[in-house]
Amino acid sequence: MIKQLHIPLGSQHAALLEPLRLDFSTENERIVSVRSDMGYVHRGVEHACMNRFDFKKVPFVVARVCGLCAITHSTAAVLATEQIVECMVSERAQWLRMLALEFDRIHSHMLCLAHVAESSGYEALFMHTMMERERVMEAQEILSGNRVQFDYATLGGVTRDMDSQCAQALLAKVGALKSVLSGLRDRFEANWSTQMRFKGVGAITLEEAYRLGTVGPIARAAGVRTDIRIESSHLPYRALGFEPIVALEGDLYARNRLRLEEIAQSIELIERILEGLPEGAHLSKVRGRPKGEAMARIEAPRGELFYYVRGNGGAIFERLRIRTPTYANLKAFEAIFLGQEYSSIPAILASLDPCMSCTAK
């Protein structure tokens, strides 16, 4: 009897936001092997940054690597570049960058959660999460003038300052979000159907998580205590009293909970940032051209984002290299998929929160 049936998923598929092709070999819907093609979104951003755009434009260009974590890309690019050009970045600008990053994390996590809900067939929860997410989107617009692509971090600081009125508005938005967070968690957890659907599904063990070099929420949900916010000192996260959140089970359920907790944590961080925001100029002049090489790592919503830049004194980088968190996690995806039911795949996939446009650049 032919026991293996191939179920292709993608490149266009209702459960996918991005083109990605997975080819599952299944036995009765149970995955036995998977092949993937994740190169659909390759546009050649690295090449363009090394050939067409001068280094000052690069933060805006790399932001378009991905709309979900645009700010992390531009921040990382900026942090790396600032090491090899002459410029002084004020403490305030650094704090504002953190602020934008935390907002981005919230909106990305909420989108991921909404997508998990949608992919598991829980439309109402998707709607609910998206509804609450609107608050963050509005906050982001207040902060940066745009809902998705902030274009906030730039060489020498951030593109716009924040007044106290704005801070108040932001506080109100996150405050409102905070108050609904526990209800949201209830809906994800206190429900027999979500428990049946999520518990023990799409799990990765701690050992595997280490072996496959996972990063971000996937690693943390499996018990790896890794968070670039404490592992690098590019941004003054230590001043905020930061401690990463870790879960143990490594399954879909744990990842959901972890994301919800990280949202709460980010809200707290935002409140602390707004409270203790140092005074200073938000933007300072950049002089000279990049010469030498530098790297920067920051914690994107999906984990460690790495930028490497190298300049030779010209206006255009000699090399720019992006390694995104999804890229690091891809190997783990396969391990997670194996042995799962095809019916859980969309939910698992959503909870792994893959970002192909980050990966393929």
Which spans of this chain sit near ligand SF4 (rule: CB under 6 A)? 64, 67, 148-149
Shortest Cβ 191–ligand NFV spacing (Å) = 27
Q: Which does 300 bind (CB under 5 to 8 A by kind): another protein, ligand NFV, ligand SF4, none?
A: ligand NFV
72 near ligand NFV, judged by CB under 6 A: yes
Closest approach, Cβ 72 to ligand NFV, in A, equals: 5
Q: Which amino acid is at 66?
A: C
Q: Which is nearer to ligand SF4, 67 or 244 (CB)?
A: 67
Of the candidate residues 72, 81, 90, 159, the single one contacting another protein (CB under 8 A): 159
Picking from 109, 129, 74, 77, the residue whose alpha carbon sits closest to that of residue 266 is 109
Among 31, 49, 58, 69, interactor with ligand NFV by CB under 6 A: 69
242 belongs to the binding site for another protein (CB under 8 A): no
Which residue's CB is nearer to ligand NFV, number 332 or number 355?
A: 355
Question: CB-wise, 63 or 274, nearer to ligand SF4?
Answer: 63
Closest residue to ligand SF4 in the complex (CB): 64
Tokens of 281: 């100029």
Minimum CB distance to ligand NFV smaller for 34 or for 228 = 228
Binding flag, residue 174, another protein (CB under 8 A) = no
Tell me: does residue 50 bind another protein (CB under 8 A).
Answer: yes
Asked if 300 interacts with ligand NFV (CB under 6 A), we say yes
Instruction: Determine which residue in the list 75, 326, 344, 351 makes contact with ligand NFV, applying CB under 6 A.
Output: 326
Give the Cα separation of 361 and 310 in Å (integer).
18
Measured over the CA atoms of residue 335, residue 339, residue 342 and residue 346, the dihedral's sign is negative
Structure tokens at 142: 């207040």
164 binds, among ligand NFV, another protein, ligand SF4, none (CB under 5 to 8 A by kind): none
Q: Does 119 bind another protein (CB under 8 A)?
A: yes
Q: Say whether residue 160 binds another protein (CB under 8 A).
A: yes
Binding of another protein at residue 172 (CB under 8 A)? no
Supply the minimum distance, in Å, between the C-beta of residue 179 and ligand NFV. 26
User: Partners of 16 in the beta sheet?
Assistant: none
Beta bridge partners of 24: 7, 34
Q: What is the CA radius of gyration of the chain?
A: 20
Q: What residues from 192 to 231 belong to the interface with another protein (CB under 8 A)?
A: 192-194, 196-198, 210-213, 215, 224-227, 230-231
Count residues binding ligand NFV (CB under 6 A).
16
Q: Taking contact as CB under 6 A, which single stretch among the options 39-47, 200-208, 222-230, 296-304 is the one that binds ligand NFV?
A: 296-304
Taking CB under 8 A as the binding criterion, the range among 96-104, 122-130, 172-180, 273-281 that sits at the site for another protein is 122-130
Cα–chain-centroid distance for residue 292? 28
Show contacts with another protein in window 93-112 (CB under 8 A).
111
Binder among 65, 85, 254, 336 for another protein (CB under 8 A): 65
The reply to whether 265 sits near another protein by the rule CB under 8 A is: no
Site of interaction with ligand NFV (CB under 6 A): 66, 68-69, 72-73, 108, 300-302, 305, 324-326, 355, 357-358
